[in-house]
Structure 1
């Protein structure tokens, strides 16, 4: 389980997040929404160690991880998939997946099973397994980035804007994969702009406004909560 308690973070002397707390449970998806500039991506980067919090705690199964380097946090079982499909462009699809396996050295059988599952979910990656990542479409690169993370089998997945650069027709495929992944025991946190599309796949929702938590609710109630706010 991921616990974030009273987190403050930003960029240098510029504050972005103020007193943010959240819980992401194994087997569930937490959806984080808010307008551009609200601090959503900063929150994920602070949790994963890329932005150093100035106050507060990030706990993974009760172990404090803030203050660790990002690579150390990754070794505790957390993985951040950034927007923009951050894959290795000069490597093939298969070699990109092998990079994800660096977190599981010596587990060749586990890697093979994970790759076959990725290929079954995203058949286009199997078809293009020898292609360079740079030659994939934006949607295919997003699939590959998720595949890299899946191969690592993290306990917590932080996913920043999975819809970035995707055709909307691909979103159900991506979100169904994340739902299935969560149900296998991973705590999944998704930052997303397209709340109405994503909420049906999530369990809980948290809305950030100007770096602060505006409200939390079950994901099934999100549309009603947002509608009520708009009507005020």
Structure 2
């Protein structure tokens, strides 16, 4: 389980997040939404170790990981899939998937089974497994990045804007894959702007506004919460 408590973080002396708290439980998908510049990506980067928190706690299964190096965070069982399809362009599709297997050395059978599962979910990757990753479309690179993360079998998956650069039709299959993955016991956190498409696949939702949590709710209640009339201050 991932826990973030009263997190304050930003860039140098510029604060972005103020007193942000969340919980991501094993087997669940937490959807995080908010406008551009709200602090969603800063939150993901702080959890993954790329931005050092100014204060607050980040706990993975009760162990503090806030402020440690990204590679140490990854070794503890957390994986961040960034927007923009960060794959190794000069490696083949298959070799990119092999890069996700660093955490499961010696488990060749497990790796092979995981690759076959990825190929069954995203058949285009099997079809293009010998091509360089640079020759894939943006959507195919997003599938490949998710495949890398799946093979690493993290306890917590952070997925920052999986729809970035994708045709809208490609998002539901990716969300369905993440839904099935979460059900195996992984805690999945998705940052996404397409809330109406993503919410049906999530368990809980949280909206960030100007670096703070505006509200959190069940994902099934998100549309109602977003469209509730504002209550005028007395």
Shorter-chain TM-score tier: over 0.9
Q: In 2, Cα distance between the equivalents of 1:94 and 1:75? A: 22
- Which consecutive residues of structure 1, in runs of 5 or more, have no partner in the other structure? none
Q: CA deviation at 1:68?
A: 1.2
- Correspondences of 1:129-168 after superposition (within 5 Å): 129-168=129-168
TM-score, normalised via structure 2 length: 0.98
Q: In 2, Cα distance between the equivalents of 1:85 and 1:67? A: 25
Q: CA deviation at 1:71?
A: 0.2
RMSD of equivalent CA atoms: 1.0
TM-score, normalised via structure 1 length: 0.98
- Correspondences of 1:75-224 after superposition (within 5 Å): 75-224=75-224
Q: In 2, Cα distance between the equivalents of 1:230 and 1:139? A: 37
> Paired residue for 2:32?
32
SS in 1 for 2:189: strand
Structure 1 runs of 4+ with >4 Å offset:
229-232
Do structure 1's residue 41 and structure 2's residue 41 form an aligned pair? Answer: yes
- Which consecutive residues of structure 2, in runs of 5 or more, have no partner in the other structure? none
Q: CA deviation at 1:231?
A: 8.5
Q: In 1, Cα distance between the equivalents of 2:71 and 2:137? A: 28
SS in 1 for 2:100: helix
Q: CA deviation at 1:67?
A: 2.1
Q: CA deviation at 1:229?
A: 4.4
SS in 1 for 2:228: helix
> Paired residue for 2:70?
70
